[in-house]
């Protein structure tokens, strides 16, 4: 069961390493085109939550993040045993939460850098980072896990 903590650690390390690379090698708002105009690396900072909401509310983010970390650890040890999808989802959630929390504590802001334009609808997606991607994947995996568990439960009731 503890092997999944390596996934959380990997997310935190990859997240912090990529953010360090951005801070050390790019000027703020500098953009490097990777696949113009749809994908680029853009040095950006976020003092809020997702999409810049609640900017400057550091105390709130700290409380929420500590609560999320405690909840993840509780559910991981009490509810996720023998459920690999839940274990992976919770560890991605843990790694993403810790990755952005480190930024907020030590930088006072979160370093974002992945810049995506969705071509069909011409939507400039909010700039994000590895921790944000891990959080999003965690939500998707946890939702899939809930659906799988629900179907297992219904199948067991029928038998």
CA of residue 23 relative to chain centroid, distance: 19
What would the pLDDT profile of 89-136 be if each residue is shown by its tens digit?
999 999 999 999 999 999 999 999 999 999 889 899 999 999 999 999
pLDDT at 122: 87
What would the pLDDT profile of 42-99 be if each residue is shown by its tens digit?
999 988 766 666 676 777 888 999 999 999 999 999 999 989 999 999 999 999 999 9
Q: Cα(63)–Cα(77) distance, rounded to whole angstroms?
A: 21
pLDDT category, 159, cuts 50, 70, 90?
low
Is the pLDDT at 2 greater than 90, yes or no? no
* Separation of first and last alpha carbons in the chain: 29
Residues designated as active site = 112, 132
The arrangement of strands across the sheet holding 123-128 comes to 31-35, 39-46, 110-118, 123-128
Reported for 46-50, long-range contacts at CB under 8 A and 24+ positions apart, including other chains, are 46/109, 46/110, 46/111, 46/112, 46/127, 47/108, 47/109, 47/110, 50/126, 50/132
Note the pTM of the prediction, 2 decimals.
0.88
DSSP string, 55-121: TT-HHHHHHHHHHHHHHHHHHHHHT-TT-HHHHHHHHHHHHHHHHHHHHHHHTSSEEEEEEEEETTT
pLDDT (mean) for 30-39 = 93
pLDDT at 152: 79
């Amino acid at each position: 069961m503890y092997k999944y903590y390596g996934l959380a650690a990997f997310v935190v390390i990859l997240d912090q390493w990529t953010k360090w690379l951005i801070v050390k090698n790019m000027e703020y708002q500098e953009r490097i085109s990777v696949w113009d105009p749809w994908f680029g690396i853009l040095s950006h900072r976020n003092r809020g939550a997702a999409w810049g909401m609640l900017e400057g509310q550091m105390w709130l983010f700290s409380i929420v993040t500590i609560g999320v970390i405690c909840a993840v650890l509780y559910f991981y040890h009490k509810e996720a045993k023998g459920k690999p999808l839940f274990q992976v989802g919770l560890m991605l959630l843990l790694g993403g939460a810790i990755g952005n929390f480190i930024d907020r504590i030590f930088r006072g802001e979160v370093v974002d850098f992945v810049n995506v334009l969705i071509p069909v609808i011409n939507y400039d997606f909010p700039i994000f980072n590895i921790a944000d991607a891990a959080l999003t994947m965690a939500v998707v995996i946890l939702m899939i896990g809930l659906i799988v568990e629900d179907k297992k439960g219904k199948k067991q009731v029928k038998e």
